[in-house]
Amino acid sequence: MNPSTPPSMQQGAPLLEVENLTKYFGGLRAVNDFNMTIYPGELVGLIGPNGAGKTTVFNQITGIYLPTKGSVKFNGVNLVGFEPHEITRAGIGRTFQNIRLFNNLSVLDNVRIAFHATSGYGLFDTIVSNGKFSQKENEIVEKSQDLLDVMKLSRFQNEIVKNLPYGEQRRVEIARAMACQPQLLLLDEPAAGMNPREILQLMDMIHFIRDNFHLTILLIEHQMRVVMGICERITVMDFGEVIARGNPKEIQGNPKVVEAYLGKGAANVA
Amino acid sequence: MDITTLLISFVKIVAVVAYFYGLFWVMGIKGKKIRLGAKEIDISLLVNTLGVLAGYLVIQLALTPFGSFAVLTNFDRGLLFQACSMVMVALGLNLIYGFNGQFSLGQYGFYGIGAYTAADITFRWINGDSRGLIVVGIGTILGGVVILFIRKFLSGLRRMPVLSSFTLYLIGSLIAGVVAVFAGKFLAPFVNPLLGNALAPGVLNQTVPMYFVFFLAVIFAGIFAAEVSFLFGLPVLSLGSDYFGIATLGFTIVVYTLMVNSDTILPFPEMKGGRGMIGIPKLTTWFWAFFFMMLVIITMRNIIRSSTGRSIMSVREDEIAARSMGINVAETKLMSFVIGSLFAGIGGGVYAHYIGFLSPGAFDFLVGFNPLIIIVFGGLGSMTGTITASFGWIFFLEGTLREILGKISTEAPSWRYVLYPLTLLLLMLVRPQGLLGSVEWGFLKSKVIPLRKAKNTDEVKTA
């Protein structure tokens, strides 16, 4: 992908192509025929009421759930059937809805763990602790500290991560996901539990990392302010199906979306 | 009650713990520089090495009798060796349970495998039979190569069912074993004449080659235990943590049963089944016990502070998150299980050659809880805690309590199994995270990376 391409110019090959993605949990249909195409450099939002199946879509893209049907193509390769760690190594990083950090480790260690796949030294170098080991290890520290600087977490570097405030923990998760060196970043409700000031900072930060790290971002969010403020395209889901697509303006005026969020009566009033 | 005995034995516990803290402090010295003319030379590595040497010499000196007096008696010597092998076993288990979060009760099974394998090699050797060393040596090396080869071959195939790959590994290992047995049959007649017999020891049965054989025996025993753990762990590690614990408990029982019947259902009459294996050469000296213990400690510490170590800990903290960070969870679990068993096997080899007598009762699954108790006592995820607890536990239980209770009556030492669970209970009530939690000391401590100044150019402008 070309980093100089201005975002939202939908050109070239798509980065992610999700086709007819379907997931059944027993008899329950969580996601039905979900389609989505994301081009390099885009910032796309996925919204919908609780239980609409947004996180299930994420979990299928990242390999935690095996789709019942459908395909997930990333850079033209079908990822269905890959192990989650293989998908991450292919270039998809993610955060979690309910924060999943390595609680008893320091902030720096949390970020350093994500560099494991690209650490560049093996078990033998580790045991004899040779020059290659210390050199690569220093590189990892350097890169981790760069990321912590970007996420404004430098001063928490050596804190145990579970002692951090909620908003900071969210940022550690984003820093950790970026340490996987992804092309596509999936953010699952990054603003959940944040106060309005933190949300503003977060929106800036997401814009900043998208522009400076040449990332493509897909995010799930409940806070309309965040989604409408930063996403260029939005897909709306309800009961496992896509009910609307478009830019923020179109989505705000879409009666189906209003109905899904506020109920039938509200749609008529609007 | 004799108050001086009590005092002396407590002083010994404190001394031995202080000894390790001192040793790790010296080994942990960094950035020590001296001026030599115009140049500044970093001598920290020299200081560390000298520290280890001094640590070895101090105990060696204390063990050496001057006339009829020695600081550490023969009884203490036994405790010391027992504690050294316990450190290796417990550190291995700490890697599996404390760092990787896999609850395992199989550690004593691998300990037993290591002990019996190493003992069999040297026992046969001093009795003029080189087959033990040849078969186990070729078998473990060939087996290791085969396993690595199959692993390389399988890494290209995705989503291979665990049991299919397990079958492949099993067949490969069996072939390696058969080849080793035939190689032993073929090669042994050439080596055996050099060994002589018990009455007239040959060239290869003198002190120096004997210690070399002992060294090989312990290393091969460790590798053999590691390979067994690989084959066992491959299908079993896919179970959840609790079920894995039960499966490993089963493994310990299987190993115990095989030991009890080693002369009937296994072709090893020299192991004498439930009666116990006697006549193992007592080759473990303080040098070897210290050498193997430091080998295990340094290897473990190097693994823990590296990227591999962090990936092992991330699996303990959150498996799903670890997976999503590009860590191969199945491989990480298997690796820590195999390395932990390797340590246990080496510890078993050292133990067998110190005690000179192996009975299956020493590897029963009930005593198999000992390393578990030690690592919980010392703190899960703390190497310092494990080492402290191993020495403290052995010196307290087998030293102090036995000595003091022995003064009361000959039956009284049995009370120590009442007293030490009470101690444990008390500790768990006062400090549930164990003696040291996850704190490390000196050499074992991971480097704390200092904060650096933020680069202004990379700063994000915030609203």
Chain A stretch 85-124, residues whose beta carbon is closer than 8 A to a beta carbon of chain B: 85-86, 88-89, 93-94, 96, 100-105, 108-109, 112-117, 119, 121, 123
Whether residue B147 has pLDDT greater than 90: yes
What pLDDT score does B247 carry? 93
* Contacts with B128 (C-beta within 8 Å, 6 or more apart), sequence order: B192, B195, B196, B197, B198, B202
Question: B449 and A96: CB-CB below 8 Å?
Answer: no
A133 contact residues in B (CB cutoff 8 A): 306
Confirm whether B459 is domain-assigned.
Answer: no
Domain of B248, CATH number, reads: 1.10.3470
Confirm whether B436 is domain-assigned.
Answer: yes
Confirm whether B450 is domain-assigned.
Answer: no
Question: Is A155 at the interface with chain B, CB within 8 A?
Answer: yes
Nearest residue in chain A measured CA to CA from B307: A116
**Whole-angstrom distance, CA of residue A259 vs CA of residue B355:** 79
**Whole-angstrom distance, CA of residue B168 vs CA of residue B151:** 10
> Could you read off the pLDDT of B419-461 as tens digits, one per residue?
878 888 888 888 888 888 888 888 888 888 888 765 544 444 4
Question: Is A81 at the interface with chain B, CB within 8 A?
Answer: yes
Which of A102, A154, A201 has the CB atom closest to B321's CB atom? Answer: A102
Q: Where are the alpha helices (DSSP H) in A114-195?
A: 123-128, 131-150, 166-179
Which of A62, A102, A205 has the CB atom closest to B314's CB atom? Answer: A102
How close is the nearest chain A Cα to the Cα of B338, in Å?
13
What pLDDT score does B426 carry? 87
Confirm whether B167 is domain-assigned.
Answer: no
**Whole-angstrom distance, CA of residue A35 vs CA of residue A64:** 19
* pLDDT band at residue A253 under the 50/70/90 scheme: confident
Taking chain B, what is the end-to-end CA distance rounded to the nearest angstrom? 75
Question: A127 and B299: CB-CB below 8 Å?
Answer: yes
How close is the nearest chain A Cα to the Cα of B54, in Å?
22
Taking chain A, what is the end-to-end CA distance rounded to the nearest angstrom? 42
Number of structural domains found in chain B: 1
Question: A114 and B326: CB-CB below 8 Å?
Answer: yes
Whether residue B212 has pLDDT greater than 60: yes
Delimit the CATH 3.40.50.300 region(s) of chain A: 1-91+182-270
> Could you read off the pLDDT of A194-203 as tens digits, one per residue?
888 888 888 8
Q: What is the mean pLDDT of residues A75-82?
A: 90
Q: What class is the A1-91+182-270 domain?
A: alpha beta
The DSSP letter of residue A115 is T
Token code pair at residue A145: 């500290």
Confirm whether B147 is domain-assigned.
Answer: no
Q: What is the mean pLDDT of residues B27-54?
A: 83
Confirm whether B190 is domain-assigned.
Answer: no
Q: Which domain holds residue B68?
A: 3-129+195-444
Which of B321, B327, B449 has the CB atom closest to A108's CB atom? Answer: B449
Question: Is A176 at the interface with chain B, CB within 8 A?
Answer: yes
For Cα atoms A55, A58, A63, give the angle at the middle one, nearest 5 degrees: 125
Higher pLDDT, B226 or B238: B226
Nearest residue in chain A measured CA to CA from B335: A123
